[in-house]
Every structure is written in structure tokens, then in C-alpha cells.
Structure 1
Amino acid sequence: MTRVVADISISLDGFVTGPNAGSDNGLGDGGEALHTWAFSDDPVDRHVVAQATTRSGAVVMGRRLFDIVDGPHGWSDEVGYGAREVGKPPFVVVTSARPESVRLSELDWTFVTTGLADAIEVARSRAAAASARRGEDLDVVLMGGGELIGSALAAGLVDTLSLHLAPVVLGAGTPLFSEGASRSLVQREVTVSPNATHLVYDVE
């Protein structure tokens, strides 16, 4: 079965970027510490990255994140989806308007202008097709940004929440959780490395 997995790194005080995040400062001031684990050579971290990248049947992101990864300082042949894994699943972007051009034209991009729920359904269809080709269940992964994942959680569109809790306090930035409906979580996995605590929850 295709799951919708929200996967994101977060600080101890609940932020998914540092302050002053923008197109030229994607993770905000000090936010690079959130992703230290993704570029680590620690075997636990490498396994988490590789496993998540391999299970990604389709990936959903917001327009602001797309502008960062497709921008001049974004993804490359060395660093892309899954950090150094540079995975190439189909990507679905939630946006109000298609971009005029795409730098990373070798990747499979779909732009959905009718909202997050529709984007997830498009990604689910793409992930189901990839699952059939590979003969195994693959996931729809919501990779961010934080507002997109927060909105998806609030709307009940997420099956699984995968958090990478970095040992850093940012003090300000983009919060993952804001006021809204409460959600019950069932803890399924806890994996610890020196760089992060990797937490997996089912969302009820």
C-alpha cells in the first residue's frame, strides 16, 4: 500500500529552518545544522538516508522549496534528493503558477495548481505506477517545506510522520507545528546517531 510520508528535519525547539530563510538562504541562519545527519558518514545516518530515498515513489514539495532546489545554488549532480544519494523519483510541486523555466530539466517535474490534496493524489498515482514496475510498495514523500507539511498534517493527509530531530536549538525560524487540530501519533521507530534522533510515527 502506498503511504503518504511527511519527512523533515527539525530542531529541538520545533523549527525546520533557522531565521531569515529565503531563496538564497534556504535553511535560514544556522539551519544547516538541521541536515548535518544527511551528509554524515555515520552508518546509522547513511542507512536512514538510503532507505528513505529508495522507498520514494514520488515526492511532493511546495513552490518555495522548488525555487531553492532549482535555483543556482540548489541541487546538482553531487547533492540532490536524498543528499548525496541524488535520487530521481517523480517530483510534484504545489504552486499557484508554473515556473517560466526549469534548470533541473533532466528531472521529472509535475506542477499542480489546484492545491495540496490534488498534488498528493497526482503523486500517489505516480508512486503506484513506480510500485508496480518495481514490484514493491513505494511511498509518497512530502519533503517540505515546513508550511506544506504542517498544512498536510492539519488536513489529515499524512499517514506517517518521519522526523529527524537534530541536536540544535535555533531560537526562531519556520515552525513545523502551529495552532490547529490535534493529532494522535503512534511511535513506530526510534533510531539514534550522534547527529540526530530519527523518529517514525503513524498518524491517527
Structure 2
Amino acid sequence: MARRIVLDLAVTLDGYIEGEHGEIDWCIMDPEMNFTDFLKSVDIILFGRKSYDMWKLYVPDEEESDLDKEMMQMIEDKEKIVFSRLKSESENNVTFSNGVEETVEALKSRDGKDLWLYGGAELITEFVNRGLVDEYRLSIHPVVLGKGKPLFSNIEGRLNLALQEVNRYQSGVVQLVYKKQ
């Protein structure tokens, strides 16, 4: 099976991926969602530079659950590609790239698992506009923010998707899984 690019993201009911000041405190990490299974299905994470810089600063506190710590370690262990116009050096399991099409083509030609498009919003927009996202896994959280960073902005054309799966969780999160038609 060919490698796919999977956008797996938490989003509010009104379509935001961050609050007005970058807050993501509304995001529910429900064990029932089996996020570790998703992490096992990917071996590379695709970041925009700003999202990677924010992710890199995250330090789990001692009060976090063992499951949260396990998920963070799984993410830490994965190969990461960071798309940046500013950086070009590589570090540990992180490679910086400024060529989206060439990088995606090279990654998809390699053997391996799926690729997780983590974001941010600018990178997601570029991938959507270039038709590079194969699967959309959107976890809709039961909160309306009113303001913030929208998931989809500056999309250049219509995109028809086919619903593949709907998952409901006790927390109120509903996960919708779509593929390109």
C-alpha cells in the first residue's frame, strides 16, 4: 500500500485550531480516542516551522498521565520534516526543507508508514491547495471559541471528500474521517 498524507487534527465546532491567543486548552485527549494507534500508523510527522518551534518548547509536567507521557515519547521518537524558508540545518531526527512538492514526492517514494500532516495552518493550506492530503481525520471538539486561527483559510478551490468513518466519544468529541474523491 502506498504511503498517504494524513491530516489528523483537533478543531473546534466553529472551525478553529487555536484560540485567539494560540490557546489549545480546549483540546480533549480522551484515552477512548486511541491516539496511540494513530501514532503507530505513521512514521514521519510534517510540521510548519512555527508549529514545530511551539511543539519543541512543550515540556510535559509530572502530573501528566502515563498515557500522555507515552504519546509524547512516541511523537518524539518519530522522524520529523519541518518546512521552513528560514532554517535549513538538520538536528537529530529532524530535517528542514523548503520544497514541499519535492519533499513529499521523495517521502512517498520511500517504503514506510503514513505521513502525519501536523500543521500549522499555512502548511495545511499549502498541502490542501496542492492536492497533497490523502486523508482528513478531524476531531471536532464540543467548544465554540468565536475567534482564533481557522483550520481552512485561503483555499483556492472546491475539494470534494468522501466520508469514510465517524467515531463518537464519551467526551463529546466526534471524529470524522474523509478521503479525497
Pick the TM interval, shorter chain.
0.7 to 0.9
2:64 equivalent to 1:63? no
RMSD: 2.4
Instruction: Note the alpha carbon deviations across 1:28-77, whole angstroms, 9 max, x for none.
Output: 2xx311x21x2x33xx21x2x01110011211000001111122xx1559
More strand by share: 2
Query: Structure 1: which 5+ residue stretches go unaligned?
Result: 22-27, 132-137
Percent identity (aligned): 27
Conservation of the 8 A alpha-carbon contact between 2:42 and 2:115: yes
Distance 1:112 1:50, change over 3 A: same
Distance 1:146 1:194, change over 3 A: farther
Distance 1:67 1:99 in 2: 14
2:146 equivalent to 1:171? yes
Paired AA for residue 140 in structure 2 = L
- Deviant stretches of 4+, over 4 Å: 75-79
- Secondary structure of the 1:32 match is coil
Question: What is the TM-score when the length of structure 1 is the normalising length?
Answer: 0.75
Bigger relative contact order, structure 1 or 2, given CA contacts below 8 A and separation 6+?
A: 2
2:96 equivalent to 1:121? no
Instruction: Note the alpha carbon deviations across 1:129-185, whole angstroms, 9 max, x for none.
Output: 4x2xxxxxx101101112211221122111111101000101111111124201001
Name the structure 2 match of 1:32: 25
Question: What is the TM-score when the length of structure 2 is the normalising length?
Answer: 0.84
2:97 equivalent to 1:97? no
Distance 1:51 1:192 in 2: 16
Paired AA for residue 104 in structure 2 = I
Number of corresponding residues: 171
Distance 1:83 1:6, change over 3 A: farther
